[in-house]
Amino acid sequence: MNARLDLAELGIKPELLARQEEDKTKLPPAGYTLTNAKKDIFCETLSNIRVPQGYCSNFSSLVSLKDRKLIGLKSHEYHMPMQEFLPIAIRSIMHLPTQYAIIKFCFFFKFICRKEISLQELDKLQLKLVVTLCLLEKFFPLTFFDIMIHLIVHLTREVKLCGPICFQWMYPFERCMKIIKGHVRNRNRPEGCIAEETIAKETILFFSEYHETMKTIGIPHDKHVTNENEDGKPLSAANQVERELAISKDSVSETVRWISYGPRATIVKYKAYNINGHTFCTKSNDGIVYQNSEVSVEAVDLHISKEVATTRKTFYYGVLQEIWVLDYRFRKIPIFKCDWVNHKAGGVKHDPNLGYTLVDLNSLGHKDDRFILASQARQVFYVKDQIDKKLAIVFRTPTKNYKDTYDKVDEEFSTVIHEHNDNILP
């Protein structure tokens, strides 16, 4: 109410001024105002988000559908809805110009949280940020613009001086302090408790390396143990390799030589696999909270137009159904069997306004080419689009910057950059 009275005092935005009708004072809805029905859609969108394990917190536990609000978010959990989920949650419920201003604001935070940023991009980003703040001033009340909003203008300068924002966060230290505080059993001697607990954990860890076959206490067991079953022998020829070896033994690599003999006759199937810094699960094994079965692969397609053949990269999206491991004795090669979305039948679309990729998971194709190498798979996850219920928005998960020391399967389960383009926004 006070914000509307400020508008009357300044003589701006007359369409938003409070109106006196009989004994009631009515406030006309602003561009950012949401009805209860729209709030339900907003909360439902966030509560239905299922992300890969390790991507972020479980948002279904942080959304109260009854109260229509977010609850229990910790300091390190706010950046995910700001950068990723807020734009898709307001796509279908908010006034279009207001929606664009908020989404450009979200894209700014996502951009400065990248691990690699060039100085030239920061200069362009600063200019876009000033325009974005001016757009926000057109729709939000004056009381919204406190000192915290003003400080955002200086974030690009801070990135230039101190480096990417993600390396300045306090979240790792806050989590470390929480673990250390949990070691305190005697509040009169906190330092001694922390020292004893730390030494005990390190000692158990060192002992476990020398006693791998023994059952340890307090140390999680290694679930990533490959199946060393050597049963079976395939019948396959290696005529081409034999001819090459007859000419020169150095012309064929050791790996190709082993693969030429073919895999074992028995194929082992698994329900989970760790590779490329991600954990993949089959669709039947996907949990209620997390989804790890969505994959994408980058392929080079041949396009012929006016008798001119050209190649271009295309992303294919699908759902992982089976995980096979081919045993070539010398090495094991995992492959994924997936259901792929049909590109030719309009199964993949692009949002011209926000740059999102949308897929129709019910429109399947490429049934004669369902297998890919596990090393080619990239993890994605899908969020239901509120505008068209048949479609889902694609989000790409970042690849962790480390190389797996092993690409092993989980015996417990054995039977076996979304890069947004700011330039497309008005």
pLDDT at 359 over 80: yes
Residue 392: its pLDDT value, please?
92
How many domains, in total, are found in the chain? 4
- Do residue 161 and residue 177 come from a single domain? no
Assess whether 341 and 244 both reside in one domain: no
Stretch 4-28: mean pLDDT: 77
How far apart CA 71 and CA 287 sit, in angstroms, is: 23
Q: Are residues 162 and 177 in the same domain?
A: no
Show contacts of 213-219: CB within 8 Å, 24+ apart.
none
**74 & 161 share domain:** yes
Contact 45, 386 (CB under 8 A): yes
Assigned domain for 70 exists:
yes
pLDDT at 51 over 70: yes
Give percent of the chain above pLDDT 70: 81
The pLDDT value given to residue 127: 92
Query: What was the pLDDT predicted at 246?
Result: 54
Residues 314 and 261 in one domain: no
Listed residue (51, 29, 26, 25) closest to 39, CA to CA: 29
Q: Which is higher by pLDDT, 390 or 229?
A: 390
Q: Is residue 236 part of a domain?
A: yes
Q: Is 134 left (phi over 0), alpha (psi -120 to 50) or beta?
A: alpha
Assess whether 349 and 405 both reside in one domain: yes
Each residue of 209-266: pLDDT tens digit? 776 666 656 655 554 444 443 333 333 444 554 555 555 556 667 777 777 767 777 8
Please indicate, yes or no, if residue 196 is contained in any of the structural domains: yes
Condensed to tens digits (0 to 9), the pLDDT of residues 55-71 reads 888 888 888 888 888 88
Answer yes or no: is 225 within a domain.
no
Q: Is there a single domain that holds both residue 245 and residue 273?
A: no
Whether 4 is covered by a domain: the verdict is no
Which amino acid, residue 240? Q
Q: Is residue 182 located within the same domain as residue 145?
A: no
pLDDT of 230 reads 38
Q: What is the mean pLDDT of the segment spanning 129-143? A: 88
CA–CA dist 122, 161 (Å, integer): 12
Q: Whole domain around residue 241: which residue ranges?
A: 232-265
Residues facing residue 313 across a β-bridge: 300
Interval 299-356: pLDDT, tens: 887 777 667 777 888 899 999 999 998 888 777 889 999 999 998 778 899 887 778 8
User: Does the residue 20 lie in any domain?
Assistant: no
Whether residues 110 and 95 fall in one domain: yes
Q: Are residues 60 and 98 both part of a single domain?
A: yes
Give ∠ CA 380-383-385 in degrees, rounded to 5: 135
- Both tokens assigned to 196: 């004893």
The pLDDT assigned to 398 comes to: 81
- The token pair at 267 is 């194929």
Within-domain flag for 119: yes
Nearest to 350 by CA among 376, 304, 398, 385: 385
Pair 352, 371 in one domain: yes
Q: Are residues 158 and 106 in the same domain?
A: yes
Report yes or no on 5 lying in a domain.
Answer: no
Q: Tokens in use for 272? A: 């989970």
